[in-house]
Structure 1
Amino acid sequence: MEHITSTPTVKGPAERFTGDVYLNMIEAPTEPAHLAAGLVRFTPGARTNWHSHALGQVLYVTDGVGMVGTRDGSVARISAGETLKCPAGEEHWHGATDTTLMAHIALVVGDGTGGDGTTWLEPVTDEQYNNALADI
């Protein structure tokens, strides 16, 4: 058994996020397991860049209201207590609404190469974000 009493909060890097995003890692993908889990907190208006996951992603919202958008323009409104599954390879983004913070636990299974299988892409534009807000 391993009891981890706390993990440091780090600010999400600007090359992956717009706005203020904070991360507490719960589990890193280490052999023999490949699970990566983190608590991610988004301030109002904050969001990820576009990205995809080799083996998919599960988001469990712990607090607030947010959005998840996909390249085809689909947008899902997500709230505390809800779970959203992103399939393998689907380019998407997620973040808070413009007025409400959002926190989620992000779960991904690494691809066996030592990382978490995430491919980071370009930022979500303000136009894309505002269009998503209008759709929820």
Structure 2
Amino acid sequence: MKVIHGRAQGKPSEQRGPTFTGVVWADPVMAPTDGVGINHVFFSPGARTHWHTHAQGQILQVTGGSGWICVHGQQAEPIRTGDFVWIGPHEKHWHGASADSYMSHVAISLGDADWLEEVSEQDYRQAR
């Protein structure tokens, strides 16, 4: 058993870079432990992840604002405060904020992430 006390004291928020479009900040809640990582992620309006997969899946809990989740080959679905999303193992997807709202979520990532290509502006526009 391990007790993880919220955000690590003294650990600064991290601005995310090459696997995101737009301004995205994250607070590590739990460093990767036994293949599980937890981050609280804040997306500015229009910001989003690149396409990616997770070896064992991912759970998102939307904690503020509104945004989009899209599985490759499917129509994007709106997500908002209070929603939970389950993304299955190796399911290619992206998630991020609406064009006119921030979005924050707690991301519980199971296994390694495989980061892929940037979400095109056309793909993002279709979500809106």
Query: TM-score under structure 2 normalisation?
Result: 0.91
1:67-106 equivalence runs, <5 A: 67-106=68-107
Give a deviation string over 1:49-98, Cα, whole Å, max 9, x none. Answer: 00000000000000000100111132111111110000000000000000
CA contact (8 A) 2:23 2:47 kept: yes
Q: Which amino acid aligns with 1:47?
A: R
Determine what percentage of the aligned residue pairs are the same residue. 36
Residue among 15, 25, 28 paired with 1:25:
28
CA contact (8 A) 2:4 2:30 kept: no
- Count of residue correspondences: 124
Query: TM-score under structure 1 normalisation?
Result: 0.86
1:6 deviates by 5.2
Distance in 2, matches of 1:74 and 1:7, equals: 37
Unaligned runs of 5+ in 1: 111-116
Residue among 103, 116, 120 paired with 1:121:
116
Residue 7, structure 1, aligned to residue 11, structure 2? yes
Distance in 2, matches of 1:82 and 1:75, equals: 15
Distance in 1, matches of 2:47 and 2:109, equals: 21
What is the RMSD of the two structures over their aligned residues, measured on CA atoms? 1.3
Aligned to 1:114: none
Give a deviation string over 1:19-69, Cα, whole Å, max 9, x none. Answer: 000010011223xx3320000000000000000000000000000001001
